[in-house]
Amino acid sequence: MIMLFALIAQSLRRVRKFLLAAGVLLAGFQVVLILQANSIQTSNTFAQMGAMVPAFARDVLGPSFVAFLTFKGIVCLGYFHPVVMGALVSVSLTLATIPVMEIETGFIDLVLARPVARHWIVTRSILVAVISTAYLLAMMAIGTWIGLSYFAAKSAAWPSASLIGSLAINLGFLTLCWAAIAMAIGCACRRRGSAGAIAGLLALTAYLTDYIGRAWKPAESVAWLSPFRYYTPFELVMGSALSAKNLYVLGGIAAAAFALAYLLYSRRDISH
C-alpha cells in the first residue's frame, strides 16, 4: 500500500500545476457563464434571443431549446459546453497516457526494476484519473456556487443542486470513459504522441457522430456507438432524472477499457 500511495503521490505531484490551472480555468468559466446569464436575465432578453433563432433550428433542437434559453439553462451550459467537454476529455487523455509516457522516457525502468507489479502502474493511473476528474468537477461546482452566490440576481431561477450534481456525475462518467479508452490505447502504443493522437481523433469522431446523430435522423443508426450519446444534459435540464442506463453504459465501457489496459500492460514489452 505504501508503494501504491507513493506512486499516486508522485503522479499527482507531477501534474499538480496542470490540474490546478485546469481547475481554476473551469471554475472561472462557470463564473463567466453566470455573469452572462445574469446580464441577459437583468436585461430581460431571453425571449428576444429565442425569437432570433430560425424556426428550423428550433425544430432540430426540440423542446430542450426552450429550457436552454433560461437563466438555469445558461448556468447548466457550463457542464456541456464543447469547450468544457473538450477540456475535460483532453485532461483525461493526458492523464491516461502517463503509463506510455513513462515507458517512452525510461522512468518506468527504475520503477519496475523494483518489486512493483505491473498492475499497480495501471491501478495508480486509474486512481489518478478518478481523483483528477473528481477534483475538476468539484472545482466546476465551486465555480457555479461562487457565481450564483455573488453574481446572480436574486430573482433568477437557479438550477437545483441535484441538477448540477446530476450533470457533474454524468459528465464525470463520460470523462472516465475516455480516460479508460485512452489508457487502453496507450498501453498498446510505444509513443505517447501516437496514443494521444489516436484517442483524441476517436473522441472527436465520437463527438461529431453524436452531434450529427442528434440533428440528422439517419446518423442515429451509428450514433449509439458514441459514448457522448450517454451524456444527456438537455434531458437533465428539462427535468428528467439522471439515467442509470447512461451511467451503466459509460461505466461498462470504462470498466472494459480499464480491463483491456491491465491486460495489454501486463503482457507488453517495456521498451523505449
Partner 1 sequence: MPSGSAAISIRGLTKRYGKLIAVDRLDLEVRRGEVFGFLGLNGAGKTTTIRILLDLLRPTSGSAAIFGHDCQSDSLKARSTVGYLPGEMGIYSDLTGHEVLKFLERIGGGSVSKEHRHSLTERFELGDRDLSRKLREYSTGMKRKLGLIQAFQADPLLLILDEPTEGLDPLMQESFYEVLADARQRGRTVFMSSHVLPEVERVCDRIAVLRKGEVVLLSSVEDARKLASRNVRVAFQQEVAIPASLPQGYEMIDAKPRSWTLRVTGQLGSLPAFLAALPVADLAVEEARLEDVLVKYYRDGAE
Site residues for partner 1 per CB under 8 A = 2-3, 6-7, 10, 14, 102, 105-117, 267, 269-272
For the CB of residue 248, give the shortest distance to partner 1 in the complex, in Å.
Answer: 36
Residue placing its CB nearer to partner 1 in the complex, 208 or 270: 270
C-alpha cell read off for 10: 508522485
Contact (Cβ atoms closer than 8 angstroms) between residue 140 and residue 78 = yes
Distance CA 194, CA 116 (A): 26
Task: Provide the minimum distance between the beta carbon of 254 and partner 1 in the complex, in angstroms, as a whole number.
Answer: 27
Q: Are 170 and 236 in contact (CB under 8 A)?
A: yes
The letter for the amino acid at 58 is: R
Q: Cβ closer to partner 1: 2 or 55?
A: 2
How buried is residue 48: exposed, middle or buried, by Cβ count under 10 Å (0-12/13-18/19+)?
exposed
End-to-end CA distance of the chain: 28
Please, are residues 121 and 265 in contact by the beta-carbon 8 Å criterion? yes
Between 55 and 113, CB nearer to partner 1: 113
Q: How far is the CB of 188 from partner 1 (least distance, A)?
A: 15
CB of 98 to partner 1, least distance (A): 11
Q: How far is the CB of 35 from partner 1 (least distance, A)?
A: 36
Q: Phi and psi dihedrals of 66, rounded to 5?
A: -65, -45
> CB-wise, 100 or 152, nearer to partner 1?
100
Contact 176, 261 (CB under 8 A): no
Nearer to partner 1, 155 or 271 (CB): 271
DSSP-derived secondary structure letter, 113: T
